[in-house]
Amino acid sequence: MDMHSEELHGFKQYFEKMRFTDGSRRGAEPDLFFRTGQLLSQSKEPMTMGEIGKSLEVSLSAATRLVDALVENGLAERVDDPTDRRVVRVALTDEGRQMFQVMFGVLHKRIGEFLSHLTMEEIDQLMYLLRKAFTGLREP
């Protein structure tokens, strides 16, 4: 196992071990945690639960479980909305932002290594096929 694989495996184990303060591991799905971290990392402002759920295409309760795990593990924090005190927003903590940046860097390197074996024509063809496949997944 190379260094990148070890780092990715370590992140996956970290997410699988995430627990809530009650000891449960509800909602500990590495792919959703990664997508949530990516979403929050790219957002210029803290996001509402509704925005997170809609962006991830998950229910509000699923988004809440994801955020609960991130908050309880010190990777995100709930922030009061400055214009509406009924609204709670979510942002990554410094620790969460740093961890997700490292994860993105490792994945970026891995993708670069994977694509380095392909010609530009093959990369274009791969991208075309992936877009087509993902479009098909979204259609009913």
Instruction: Encode pLDDT of 113-134 as tens digits.
Output: 989 999 999 999 999 998 888 8
Residue 90's domain spans which residues? 3-110
- Angle at 38 (CA atoms; ends 95, 28), nearest 5 degrees: 75
Q: Which CATH number do you get for residue 94?
A: 1.10.10.10
Specify if 21 maps to a domain.
Answer: yes
Nearest to 107 by CA among 21, 50, 30: 30
Specify if 89 maps to a domain.
Answer: yes
Q: How many domains does the chain have?
A: 1
Query: 39 Cβ partners below 8 Å, 6+ apart?
Result: 47, 52, 55, 56
Specify if 60 maps to a domain.
Answer: yes
Specify if 13 maps to a domain.
Answer: yes
**8 Å CB contact between 110 and 77:** no
Q: Is the pTM of this model over 0.75?
A: no
Specify if 75 maps to a domain.
Answer: yes
Q: Cα separation of 40 and 49, whole Å? A: 11
Specify if 19 maps to a domain.
Answer: yes
Per residue in 22-32, pLDDT (tens digit) is 555 544 566 78
Per-residue pLDDT of the chain (140 residues; tens, 9 = 90+): 555 566 656 666 665 565 544 555 544 566 787 889 899 999 999 999 999 999 998 999 889 988 998 998 899 999 999 999 899 999 999 999 998 888 888 888 888 998 999 999 999 999 999 888 888 776 66
